[in-house]
Structure 1
Amino acid sequence: MQNIGLVTKDLELSMDYSKIANEYNWFIDNTYKPEDILKWITTHNEVAVLWDESTIRVKDNLHIFKEIRKNLAGPIIVIDKMKAKNKLNWFFELGVDDYLSFSDEFDELNLILNQRINTYNKIYHQKKHEYRYIYFGDYQIDLEKYKVTKDGKDLGLTPKELKLLYYLIKHKQQVLDRDQLLEGVWGDFGVMETSRMVDIHISHLRDKIEANPKKPEWIKTKRGFGYFFNGEFTTK
């Protein structure tokens, strides 16, 4: 049984999810204090976090949320009774994996959780890499600590941004369209507003690694086709 942290003040939601989750071999750790999640990541080995935006706003707990994202090797899914499109970009920038409308049905959420957790497991918990480090320009990717640095400074890439960069590098000089990136990075499951989401993450990634994001050196666009990594890299 795997533990999932649920951040909510809605007791009924907590009880319903806890009851249903047991049928899917999940155990729900419920709290209305987001800081509890940071402790449980270590003590309870949380594999994912569900955040109820309807009762506890991410914006009001931004520092804690960022710490959770930094330390959790698993997906964060925000659920909202009144899903707002204007929050979508901001949530993705924070490293949220999915922003979903609230639902009493757990079947779809269970499928999404399984897919997201499996994706993170492949990245975080697969220790037998052919190499640990990837170098390009003044940048270093550490595949064990899962971070990108430039001249020793952590650039603060979200897990999704780093996975996107890694995927582009692995397919160096190959132009990847949005569908290929969705399948390779997101798993192409339950993704809404897909093309826009890829573009948003590419834009955020460029903001962090390009000297001039408007004239990118590393992540190029092939107009009408997609994106590709431009440059050489070494491994160690």
Structure 2
Amino acid sequence: MLLKEEKILLVDDEEGILTLLEITLKKERYQFITTCTTGQEALSLVKNQVYDVILLDIMLPDINGLELCKQIRSLTHAPIIFVTACSSDFDKLTGFGIGGDDYITKPFNPLEVVARIHSLLRRQHLLRSLPAEKIEKKELRFGPIALLPDDAILVVGEHRLECTAKELDLLLFFFRNPNRIFTSSQIYELVWKEPPQYGDEKTVAMHISKIRKKLESNPKSPEVIINLKGIGYKFVPPVQGELR
């Protein structure tokens, strides 16, 4: 049986949760698992080791997990899954807004957490394979905007902007579907790869808002990713034509 090479960091102040998750992940053949119980220790680990996915508790003893996420995001593009007892829309959207990729609430089934980790890692592998399989040049470009999937970089004019894993997923979706209208539910199902539930349209709106801040000269009056009221979203490239 082949062991999985991905490196996973688990950050939670409850030792019992860390032990349970580590045991479950090892049963799924993940062998490189690091655990820690404080934010400062997590930050030190991320500075010295490359991780493929990070599971992050919001309620840590020394630093709020949301603030820690901001610091971690400046060091790595690795997907971040928040684990917390806070389940309100505000907490969820705040987490997405500062660079989180997924969100799961306590109490949880450890198998669900492992499934979320596996899903994010699978998407990462898919994104890494796309340029070699689908693109002659390792970029997707419409006029002055370009997407570099391998580097998780969005180029707007002369500016190179870093993207989170979920921003990259969403940008790839729009770049491959220009001038087509999609509802929030369709976008969620096609990008998040799971059926939408109540409130998920807010998740889509939050991520699109973040992308607009990078793409648009005036995010409050968007011209690239436009919202057709009551219908959905449409990606309108600044220069019409074939993707190259």
Residues 184-195 of structure 1: pairs in structure 2 closer than 5 A: 184-188=190-194, 193-195=199-201
Which residue does 2:207 correspond to in 1? Answer: 201
Query: Is 1:66 aligned with 2:73?
Result: yes
CA contact 2:226–2:233 (8 Å) conserved in 1? yes
Provide, for residues 119-149 of structure 1, a one-character-per-residue CA deviation record: whole Å limited to 9, x for no partner: 1211134441323222234222222212112
CA RMSD of aligned residues (A): 2.4
Secondary structure in structure 2 of the residue aligned to 1:103: coil
Structure 1: which 5+ residue stretches go unaligned?
none
One-letter amino acid of the structure 2 residue matched with residue 93 of structure 1? G
Q: Aligned equivalents of 2:234 and 2:161: distance in 1?
A: 21
Paired residue type of 2:128: Y
Gapped regions of structure 2 (runs ≥ 5): none
Query: Structure 1 runs of 4+ off > 6 angstroms?
Result: none
| 8 Å contact from structure 2 (residues 184, 204) kept in 1 | yes
1:16 aligned to 4, 12, 20, which one?
A: 20
Cα–Cα, structure 1 residues 104 and 206, in superposed 2: closer, same or farther, change >3 Å? closer
What SS does structure 2 have at the residue aligned with 1:161? helix
Shift of the 40–125 alpha-carbon distance from structure 1 to 2, 3 Å rule, reads farther
The change in CA–CA distance for 1:235 and 1:145 in structure 2 (over 3 A counts) is: farther
Q: Distance in 1 between matches of 2:67 and 2:233?
A: 35
SS in 2 for 1:96: coil
Q: Distance in 2 between matches of 1:145 and 1:104?
A: 33
Aligned partners of 2:152 and 2:163 also within 8 Å: no
**Structure 1 residue 170: deviation in Å?**
1.0
**Alignment TM-score, normalising by the size of structure 1:** 0.85
Separation in structure 1 between the aligned mates of residue 116 and residue 125 of structure 2, nearest angstrom: 14
Which amino acid in 2 is paired with 1:47?
D
Counterparts in 2 of 1:40 and 1:86: CA distance versus 1, 3 Å: same
Q: Determine if contact 2:66/2:95 at 8 Å carries over to the other structure.
A: no
Change (3 A) 1:104 1:34: same
Judge conservation of contact 1:133–1:235 (CA < 8 Å) in 2. Answer: no
Read off the aligned partner of 1:143 and give its amino acid letter.
P
Alignment-derived partner of residue 181 in structure 1: 187
Q: Mapping of 1:154-165 within 5 angstroms? A: 154-165=160-171
